[in-house]
Chains A and B, each alone.
Chain A
Amino acid sequence: MLRPGEIEEALEQCLLCMQRGEPAEACLAGYPELREELAPLLAIAQRVHEAAPAPPNAAAALARGRERVLRQAARQRIARRSAPWVQRLAGFFAPLLRRGLASTVAAVVLIVVLLAGTSAIASANSLPGDPLYPVKLAAESVQLALTLDPNSRIAVEHTLEQRRVDEAQAIVKQHRIAHVSFQGIVEAYDGSTLTAAGLTIQINASTQLAGPQPAPGLTVQVSAESNSDGILIGKAIKTLAPAMPSPKLNSAQVAHTAMPAALVAGATSTQRASAGATPHPGRSSAGASINAQSSPAAATAQAVTTSPAPSASPLSPAGTVTPSREGQVHFAGLITRLAPDLWEVAGLQVRITTATQIDSSASPPAVGAWADVKGTRDSDGSILARKIVVEHSSEPEVDLIEFQGAIEAASSDQWTVDGQAFEINSATTITGEPNSGWQAEVQAQRQPDGTLLATSIVVYAPQDIPAKLAGTIDEIGASYWLIAGRRVSFDSQTAIRGAAALGARTEVQGLEQADGSIRALVVHIHANSAPTATTVFTATAAPPAGAPAMTPQHGKSGSGGGNPQQHPAPAQD
């Protein structure tokens, strides 16, 4: 009679025995009464083990992954140093964020703090995959739930939609691995790639497509994964039904016409987000806000009824509008010209008189701002504005570039990194010390005059940049070695595994120094890798200034002894 678990334990012991290289029959000798049942199971285990394919050579992949991981670690380390209170906040919330309720509570707190006007809340800039990103999303949900006015709610929804696009673009630009979800207007689709909201998404066999086939002009909801190459792989793409015209406008009042060429040319650039730019969610850059899909309104001869006066709100994406010949008009678009008595909005001339109410509480009138216009159209076709609400301004698109390299010069208003000069101002975020020779990552905007203005600079101290080196020992000096032609220095923390010998194959892990050398942290010398009849060095006196002291002993071979801080190979788990 078998005890509970006896046969399972016997199987386990036989498997362990076979792992030691013993034949199955020998392992089963200890369990004669269970042999008949266990033998077939051991044979199957062996079959599965032998059928397992050899893994591919992953050396290059692992090397790329190592660099990515260490760069991410360096960023997190620098971020923690420069904003410790934020990290403590993140650390405090991290366990709570696993529970949805806590996220909501945290989000409410965040809303309160935001409403109080506090800036520099880390979650506001967090991206998918960041610790505070759930707080950001929860805060947005709360904000949306608290927005009761339908018009304002639409504005908030559009803002959040654009935020998702901005986040996706940042994820792609930073080559981060994350899941992104956003909505955008299709710019191109050829079956294998989809371009929407300025982002290109790869379509493969596992991409789930829902709704009508994507086509330029249609809106799609995209769920995608970004990989380390900055490529978005589509997971699910749903084509949304064309949006109806804004409920705030009576479509009988307007007639749809083709967009002027100038407006069409600007349409696709709106969705390309860039730092500082706040493109209008879902709008073309210069077009008016009537959905291009709306059916043409009644002909110009149709009488126009006066519409109720809706509050200003963002309207559906775009085409231009040509109001009918006479009567009330209501439309919105970008201000492209400003004169004391004449504006151009959505490509239409709008006359301004002393009776025109101009609401600039949200934003001052400016070329590039968005304006909601109510007025009347005279028989000559001109539009007399009764009320104009300037909703918000649109900052011009900026040309962002990123680069990195060694700091060559740094002054209060100009730096040079990797041969590239650029300006800095009070808005430039600088993390780290501007020390010559240190590595810096720069994000800058190209100004109209062609110069670069840095928006963000991250300086890496040498000790933040890991280095790895493999090669033979070419020279052993008193305070440094030459390995693969590169100078490797030591200090009291350096751990050396193995016996140093000229010509020995060696791997070094350490930190980049400003002079291009490596300060070794771990040195692994391969045993028996040195040529015979070589020079072996052994430690003699105490090392000068933290370096291992080596005294050449000519004419000897074999392993030396007494190397400082020798460690055995790391134990495996």
Chain B
Amino acid sequence: MRTGEDNSLLDRVQEYDLPAIGEVYDRYAGRIYNYIYYRLGDTQLAEDLTGAVFIKMLEAIQSSKSWQVSFSGWLYRIAHNLVVDHFRRTQQDRAAPLDERIVAGDQDPVKTVERRLENDRLRLAIGQLTEEQRQVITYKFVEDLTNAQVAEIMGKTEGAIKSLQFRALASLRRILEAEES
């Protein structure tokens, strides 16, 4: 729920109040950047599209009322749409959010290889999910978004998100058990 201060801030954003826009950017840009990065795996693209999200926000906040329900969810939806547009234009494989990089951490080579193999297994398994199941897995367990935020992004109810989450994890379980057996 937004506070009165948040309402005032967004009202000022609508008036192109630059400090207000800067504050909104500072609040949300990091999360939006991470979200786009996880979806696309490219830092330059993430930087470009993050800027594009907020520039679109400046335009859309003048006419749309969707942001009044959940501003962050609405912002994520803009980011989601830009990512989808990118996929459509490039016909890029909508890879699972887990990339091939070795997870930073200790230098134990055995553990490093084990983590890589684990990542590979998970990535392949997530790649076999439906598009919606893949999205909810990314939003919930990679991006750590709430059901309300995911519902806003995907245009569904929170109940539908819970069901989707259950089905996605159940499908992942079946896929992983089949591979591991």
Could you tell me the dominant secondary structure of chain A's interface residues? helix
Please determine whether A44 and B162 come into contact, CB atoms closer than 8 angstroms: no
The answer to whether the Cβ of B104 comes within 8 Å of any Cβ in the partner chain is yes
Bound Cα distance from A72 to B21, whole angstroms: 11
CB distance from B41 to the nearest CB of A (A): 9
Could you tell me the dominant secondary structure of chain B's interface residues? helix
The answer to whether the Cβ of B44 comes within 8 Å of any Cβ in the partner chain is yes
> Contacts A53-B98, A58-B43, A74-B18: A66 and B34 contacting too (C-beta < 8 A)?
no
Bound Cα distance from A40 to B170, whole angstroms: 9
> Contacts A56-B43, A80-B16, A177-B52: A95 and B29 contacting too (C-beta < 8 A)?
no
Q: A95: which of B63, B90, B126 is its contact (CB, 8 Å)?
A: B63
Residues of B with C-beta under 8 A to A572: 27
In the complex, chain A residues 506-550 whose Cβ is within 8 Å of any chain B Cβ: 509-511, 521-522
Residues of A with C-beta under 8 A to B21: 69-70, 73
The answer to whether the Cβ of A206 comes within 8 Å of any Cβ in the partner chain is yes
Please determine whether A40 and B141 come into contact, CB atoms closer than 8 angstroms: no
CB distance from B136 to the nearest CB of A (A): 11
Q: How many A-B residue pairs have CB under 8 A?
A: 173
Bound Cα distance from A404 to B21, whole angstroms: 23
CB distance from A112 to the nearest CB of B (A): 25
The answer to whether the Cβ of A65 comes within 8 Å of any Cβ in the partner chain is yes
Q: A55: which of B37, B92, B147 is its contact (CB, 8 Å)?
A: B37
Could you give, for residues 44-68 of chain A, a 1 whenever the CB lies within 8 Å of some chain B CB and a 0 otherwise?
A: 1101110111111010011011101
The answer to whether the Cβ of B119 comes within 8 Å of any Cβ in the partner chain is yes
CB distance from A324 to the nearest CB of B (A): 50
Bound Cα distance from A511 to B49, whole angstroms: 26
Please determine whether A7 and B166 come into contact, CB atoms closer than 8 angstroms: yes
The answer to whether the Cβ of A36 comes within 8 Å of any Cβ in the partner chain is no
Please determine whether B50 and A65 come into contact, CB atoms closer than 8 angstroms: yes
CB distance from A205 to the nearest CB of B (A): 10
Q: Which residue of the partner chain B has the closest CB to A94?
A: B63
> Contacts A65-B47, A521-B19: A51 and B58 contacting too (C-beta < 8 A)?
no
Q: B18: which of A56, A73, A91, A131 is its contact (CB, 8 Å)?
A: A73
Residues of A with C-beta under 8 A to B165: 8, 11-12
In the complex, chain B residues 163-181 whose Cβ is within 8 Å of any chain A Cβ: 163, 165-166, 169-170, 172-173, 176
The answer to whether the Cβ of B113 comes within 8 Å of any Cβ in the partner chain is no
Interface residues of A (CB under 8 A from B): 5, 7-9, 11-12, 15, 19, 40-41, 44-45, 47-49, 51-56, 58, 61-62, 64-66, 68-70, 72-74, 76-77, 80, 91, 94-95, 131, 177, 179, 206, 225, 227-228, 235, 464-466, 468, 509-511, 521-522, 567, 570-573
Q: Contacts A41-B170, A44-B176, A571-B3 given; 13 further ones with Cβ under 8 A?
A: A11-B166, A41-B166, A49-B142, A51-B118, A52-B98, A53-B101, A54-B103, A55-B37, A55-B38, A65-B47, A69-B25, A72-B58, A570-B6
Q: List 12 A-B contacts (CB under 8 A).
A: A12-B165, A45-B140, A48-B172, A54-B103, A61-B43, A61-B46, A65-B54, A66-B22, A73-B18, A177-B48, A522-B23, A573-B2
In the complex, the 7 A-B pairs of residues with the closest C-beta atoms, listed nearest first: A77-B16, A573-B72, A61-B47, A65-B51, A41-B169, A52-B142, A48-B141
